[in-house]
Structures are given as structure tokens and as C-alpha cells.
Amino acid sequence: MGWDHQTGSDYRRAADYVVAALIFLRDNVLLREPLRPEHVKPRLLGHWGSCPGITMVYAALNTLIRERDADVLLVTGPGHGAPANHANLWLEGTHEEYDPALARNAAGLTELARRYCAPDGFPSHLSPAVPGTIHEGGELGYALATAFGAALDAPERLVACIVGDGEAETGPTAAAWHSPKFLDPVTCGAVLPVLHLNGYKISSPTLFATMSDEELIHLFRGYGWDPRIVDVTGRPAGDPVADAVRDAHAAISSIQTAARAGRPPARPPWPMIVLRSLKGQGAPGQVGGQPLEGTFHAHQVPLADVRENQEQLAALETWLRSYRPEELFDKEGRPSEKVLAAVPDSQRRIGMQPAGDGGRLREPLDLPDLAPYAVELPAGPGSHHASPNKVLAAWLAEIVRRTESRRDFRIVSPDELASNKLDAVLAASKRAYVWPVEEYAEDLAPDGRIMEVLSEHNCQGWLQGYLQTGRHGLFPTYEAFAAIVDSMVNQYGKWLKMSREVPWRAPVSSLTYLLTSEGWRQEHNGYSHQGPGFINNLLTKKGTVTGVYLPPDANTLLVTMERLLDETGKVNVVVAGKQPAAQWLGLDDARRHCEAGASVWRWASTDDGEDAEVVLACAGGIPTVETLAAADMLRRDLPGARVRVVNIVDLCALATPDRHPHGLHEATFAELFGHDTPVVLDFHGYPSAVHQLLHGRPNPGRFHVRGYVEEGTTTTPYDLLISNGTSRHDLAVTALGHLRGRPAETGDLAAHYARRRDEIRRELRRTRVDPASVTEWQWRS
């Protein structure tokens, strides 16, 4: 096999030829002269293996668009399949729309080939610089979940998703096959997955390709799909891929028509396609005794030594000429009329799909005024207790109500809304679920916009696709389990960073995680649930696209979320508690505090605006309580000490302004923390995160950071704090140890606090509860 391109349309021949040209050539891209080593790129990069299959699907979708005026967005999952997308974008003229230098002629193709896998050019995978794309491809298998996010609340949209058989082995893809159970055929569009089985990963067979057709049909019917298997390994006549896409589109239309006429199927049998092709279909069968087409040797660059190996150079030229480029491009290098006849008209081109640049579709959320939801504190700080999440949930419910007609706001969560005290939103919209449920269940509806599933991967993919296509959303989850999507947020943060560098891309709504059931209140669930490391991961990303917020009470949480739901182009983490707790700031004070990022709480300080002897700083709800309790102890037992209390709500305010846009300027930083004043900082997460941010600040060694240090078990809340050295007693002891000029006064007091801490620890082990002196402590104004 190989070398035979008699079958297939002129368009597909042209696209596959351009793919090969992008991978191999930097000059003579249309073979107008004999191929010489200097025409070949010095570094051959890219993956040929999946590209012919991607082109088959792209061409079939073009046929569907031309015949039925379908509104198609394409999500391409196979990693490093970008040459196929570039080839099709060039042929359809989309590249030229965005950059005239990539015109549909020999010069434009040469420029595209030179940019592919070159410094400052296009990478071998998809990127924000590629028109019509919302997903990089590869990325550990969440293309399918992202495709479903793009289809939600877009009733006319068909999202085609090519799933590589390598990525199909991943957990995220396995979970995403269940997504149709959440897809309402009335209010949403449809997803058409094409599972591309070309047999091999980098050097071994893929699991799905080794399954028989019968096994695949049973598997996907079990998921709830209606699978159609298309085998093109024998190069059948006609275009069976286009036939399968037409048939699938008809089935989708039938489901949607019935549902929208009030006759929704109980279990909508959404169609999917399983496409069997040869790995690297169209490449030479073998060269130099090594098989290529249909083997893993065609996965990346089938001929990797072309410039030095004359046999490979001759094989490459024979391969490229087998596409008969002289029939496909005119003397100027423009695609022939037969090739262009396969391209959809104008804005229906896949690369020109508006949802591919979803920021241009985005409309700001209609955010309710915070005042009716805010906690009032007529008797001052600490005089009222409330659950921050419950307060926030009432406000979020109103957002859900206000977006009922536009349907551009969703909440995704791993089945934890009730646990996290956010279930008030269910009064505004139900949990999305389409399939019938015979057992007892509450708050389910096909058109619900609250999505709960025990898969953080699905939540991430759904929300990412939803935001990328111009909508808004929120991702609440248990703090310890957010790390499940670490790799996904890594990729998305990089996508957003690169998007900022693409002049034509409009920013999309920020992706915000609400981390709750935080580790300091997971003493009952135990050590595995005590993990604040998601913050550390986010801080490795560019400061221009990240934010970390630790609102200390309900009002600061409201103000923070109001800001972030109006923001674009970032990934944000907000850590907030669900249990009733003391409230510290009225709404106006909360606004000022959040605007500043960090501020002195004068009402809790005893320095009277003078030079403090020690600063007690805190970031996070539980650390705020412990810091204030420590300040209260010192105020009572060492009344002459000048102690300043600083609360940090925007963690990145600690960074220098050149490292993060939220970083406090030097003068403001000194107003809070002094120039050489000792600072005891109680932090919600790992101390390393704070030390990382403080790098570059003058005299950072004066910051004594307390936080989670991997000490935990099933115990009581205060015992967990003591175990990690973050209790009020530990903070007070540390502060006394650094209080300058008072050794005679502080030594005995520090010893007293340490003894009291140890007594509490022994007592709680006997009673199994924390003492009232801790649980009933209140701030005394």
C-alpha cells in the first residue's frame, strides 16, 4: 500500500500534500523543480500519522456544510495533528483572512511552511494563533469534554470532535463519553465524536484499535451512543466518511426535531463515528526495508533523515509527486477550481466559525447589586456569624435567574453543591440531566444549568469549552480534589497566556475555581483531604493570567466573586469556607480591602499607626481567625506591645509588581509590613507559596511564614492547627520570639502559651472535641 492517491477527492489530495509540505519543505513547496536537500527543513518536526484522518473528517464536514448549511465548530483532539488543520485552513482561505502573507498561492504556502515548527511560528499542535480553534489537541484527553462545553446552550451548533485513539485511552476521555446524559436536545447543540482508530501510539498499538467492531459497538452502545464504523483502510471508492457524517447529521436533526416538538427521546441515541484508517495513510509502504504506512513508524516524521540520506530524499520526492500537485495548483500556486469547489462559502468555513474566537460573542454578565446579600455588622467586627458560601449562593442564584433567557452562565461541580452549602442555586435552575431516573432524586431537569458529576475532568472540560465559546461559569470543588485537574489547568493557563499575544483574539471570561471544604476543616475526613497544593500549581503560571484570592469572610467573598465574574482572560482560585464563621468587614470596608489586595486592620492592631514591633499577617479564613485570636491574647497579656494586624485577600499582592500585575508597590508594601519589622504570617496553604511570592522583596528573611506542612490525620480542627504550627498559641509564641527589645517580658509569656497549647492538645485527645475557649472565642472590640 502507500504511494497510491487515485482514490479520494482533489480536495483531500491537496490537503494531504500541503500537510506533507509543511512537515518537510522550506522551499520548492510545489515541486516545480527537482527536490534537493536544501529544499528540506534542517529540523523535521510534526506528526504525520493522524493527519490524513483529520483531513478526511475536515473534508466530510465541508461537504455537510455546503449541502446543509450546518453550523460547525471543530475540536481536534489528536496531539500534534496541527499540520492537517493548517492545510485545510490554508486551502479554505481562512489563513489569508487573518494574515495576507499566508495567501493561497505559492508564496503564501512557502511562508506557511517556513512558519510551521519554526521560532515564533506555529507549533506542531494547535494554539490560539490558529483560527477557529478552542483547544490545543492532545492535553491528556479532554477534547471531548471541551466539545460538549462548546455545545451547551448553543442549539444550532454542531461541534465535531476528532478523538485520537491514543488520547481515548485516558481517564478524561473515558469520563467524557457520558456527557450526552447532560445534553438537552432542546436548548443545546450536538456533539459528533469521530474516534480515529489508526492503530498506534508513538511505538505501540492503541487499546481501541485492537478491539473488534463488535466490541466497539457494544462499548459505545453501553455508554448510550449510536456508533457507526467506517473503515477506509482498504481505500474504498467514494467518500464513506462524508456519507457517515451526513447520516449522523440526519440522526442528530431527528433527535432535536422530536425534542423541540415536545417529544424528547427517553435516552437520545446520539450518533458517533468510529473511523478506521491506516497510521499515516498515504505515506510510502516502506523505505530502506522499514515499513512506514500502517505502522507506528509513520506516527511522527516517516522519513527523518531526508537531507543526508539520498534514498529517503528520493522516496520523499516520489511520495510528494504521487499527489500530482501539478493538477491541484495552478502556475501561481493557487488551488484549482476543483479543490476550491469543496470549500464552504464565506463565514461557514470551519476556520471562520465565530465560536472559534468566542471572546467576540461574549456579553458581560448582569451582576446583581451586592448590598441585599451582604452581611451587616452593626455591632462591629466579629459580631455576626455566617457561612460565606451560603451568602454567596444566594447571590449566585440571582445570577442564574437573570441569565435564564440568555443561557450564558453555568455552574459545574463534582456533586458537592449541597455539601459546600451552595445548593441555594438549585432554586434558580435544576441539575442538568437528560436520561430518565427511576429512583428518588431531587432537582433534576434536562434544561438545568447546574452540572454535577463526580469527574473533575469533565467539569474542567465542560467549563473550558463553555467559556471559550463566549459564556460564563464557575467551578466549585473540594480544595483537595482540585489537583485532579492540575495538568489541565497547566495547559489552559498556557493557552490564555498565548491568547494575549494573538492580536485578533478577543479575551474570554476568566475561569474561576471556588475551592471550599478547605483542608483546615477536613480533620474529620483525614489526611488525604488536607491538601492546599492547587495554589502552588497556579503560581507557577504567568502572573498576567493567574490570581489567587483568600477572602476572610462572606462580604469579601462577594466582592471578590463580583470582580472575577466580570473579568476576562485569567485563571483564578478563590478559597472560601462553608461553615458558619465570624464576619469581619462590612460591605464598604470589604470593597476597600479587596481593592487594596491587603490592608492593615486598625481595629485589631495596637501600634496606633506608629512603627510596629511585630506584624501579625494572615491570608485565608481560618488563618484570619487564629491571627486575630493571637492578637487578642497579646493585647490582653502584653498591653504595651505595638502589634499590627495585616490581612491579605489577594495573595499575589505579595509579589513584586514586575512579577505580578497585582503586586504592591514598594511604598505600599512598606506601609503594611515595614522595612525591617518581623512579620509572622499565617497562611492557608503551603508556606513555600508565600516564600515564592516574597522573592525579590527587601529582607524577605524577616517573614516567618506558618502554614500547612503535611501534618494531618483524623482529629479535631484545633489539633490539626497545632500539628502544623498554625494555631493562635503557636502564632503568639512565634510573635513573642521576634518581638524586639522585650526579652524579659516575652520569655515567660511565650512559655505560658506553649504550655497552654500542650494542655489543650492533651485534653482534646481525652474529650475528642476542641475546648470552648477555642470554639467559643469571639473578638472583643
Q: What is the pLDDT of residue 426?
A: 98
Q: Is the pLDDT of residue 350 over 50?
A: yes
* Residue 199 grid cell: 492503530
Q: Is the pLDDT of residue 780 over 90?
A: no
* Residue 107 grid cell: 508564496
Cα–Cα distance measured from residue 307 to residue 293, given in angstroms and rounded to the nearest whole number: 21
Average pLDDT on 261-277 reads 97
- Reported pTM: 0.96
Dump pLDDT digits (tens) for 36-71.
999 999 999 989 999 999 999 999 999 999 999 999
CB 627 within 8 A of CB 552: no
Determine how many CB atoms are found less than 10 A away from the CB of residue 754.
Answer: 15
Q: Of residues 74 and 519, which shows the higher confidence score?
A: 74
List strands edge to edge, sheet with 598-600: 598-600, 643-648, 614-619, 679-683, 703-706
pLDDT tier at 80, thresholds 50, 70, 90? confident
Cα–Cα distance measured from residue 351 to residue 86, given in angstroms and rounded to the nearest whole number: 10
Region label for 687, one of left (φ > 0), alpha (ψ between -120 and 50) or beta (otherwise): alpha
pLDDT tier at 137, thresholds 50, 70, 90? confident
CB 555 within 8 A of CB 498: no
Dump pLDDT digits (tens) for 382-393.
999 999 999 999
Q: What is the pLDDT of residue 2?
A: 47
Q: Where are the alpha helices (DSSP H) in 205-362?
A: 213-223, 240-260, 310-321, 325-328, 337-340
Angle of CA points 503, 504, 506, to nearest 5°:
100
Contacts made by residues 170-173, CB under 8 angstroms, sequence distance 24+: 170/140, 170/141, 170/142, 171/141, 171/457, 172/140, 172/141, 172/142, 172/144, 172/145, 172/455, 172/457, 172/458, 172/461, 172/488, 173/141, 173/142, 173/143, 173/144
Enumerate the β-bridge partners of residue 226.
271
Cα–Cα distance measured from residue 153 to residue 155, given in angstroms and rounded to the nearest whole number: 6
Q: What is the pLDDT of residue 594?
A: 98
Determine how many CB atoms are found less than 10 A away from the CB of residue 711.
Answer: 13
- CA nearest 20: which of 122, 116, 161? 116
* Percentage of the residues of the chain whose pLDDT score is greater than 70: 98
Cα–Cα distance measured from residue 698 to residue 678, given in angstroms and rounded to the nearest whole number: 12
Q: Of residues 308 and 1, which shows the higher confidence score?
A: 308
The type of residue at 323 is: Y
pLDDT tier at 8, thresholds 50, 70, 90? low
pLDDT tier at 5, thresholds 50, 70, 90? low
Q: Please tell me whether residue 106 adopts helix, strand or coil conformation.
A: helix
Running DSSP on this structure, what letter comes out for residue 231? E
Displacement of CA 12 from its chain's centroid (Å): 33
SS (H, E, C) 600-656: ECHHHCCCCCCCCCEEEEEECHHHHHHHHHHHHHHHHHCCCCCEEEEEECEHHHHCC
Q: What is the pLDDT of residue 643?
A: 96
- CA nearest 517: which of 652, 386, 388? 388
pLDDT tier at 1, thresholds 50, 70, 90? very low
Q: Is the pLDDT of residue 3 over 60?
A: no
* Residue 80 grid cell: 500534534
Displacement of CA 753 from its chain's centroid (Å): 45
Dump pLDDT digits (tens) for 684-708.
999 999 999 999 999 999 999 999 9
The type of residue at 631 is: A
Looking only at the bridges linking them, the beta strands covering 614-619 and 679-683 are: parallel
- CA nearest 59: which of 99, 19, 21? 19
Q: What is the pLDDT of residue 6?
A: 47
Length of the chain measured in residues: 781
Sign of CA dihedral 267, 269, 272, 276: positive
Dump pLDDT digits (tens) for 538-573.
999 999 999 999 999 999 999 999 999 999 999 999
pLDDT tier at 315, thresholds 50, 70, 90? very high
**CB-based contacts of 93, cutoff 8 Å, min separation 6:** 104, 343, 349
Cα–Cα distance measured from residue 122 to residue 83, given in angstroms and rounded to the nearest whole number: 9
CB 92 within 8 A of CB 349: yes
State the average pLDDT for the chain: 95
Domains assigned to the chain = 10-354 (3.40.50.970), 371-581 (3.40.50.970), 608-775 (3.40.50.920)
**CB-based contacts of 491, cutoff 8 Å, min separation 6:** 136, 139, 140
* Percentage of the residues of the chain whose pLDDT score is greater than 90: 92
* Residue 688 grid cell: 513555600
DSSP-assigned states of every residue in 343-354? SPPGGGSGGG-G
Dump pLDDT digits (tens) for 589-614.
999 999 999 999 999 999 987 889 99
Q: Please tell me whether residue 238 adopts helix, strand or coil conformation.
A: coil
Dump pLDDT digits (tens) for 477-528.
999 999 999 999 999 999 999 999 999 999 999 999 999 999 889 888 888 8
CB 753 within 8 A of CB 729: yes
CB 208 within 8 A of CB 163: no
Displacement of CA 152 from its chain's centroid (Å): 17
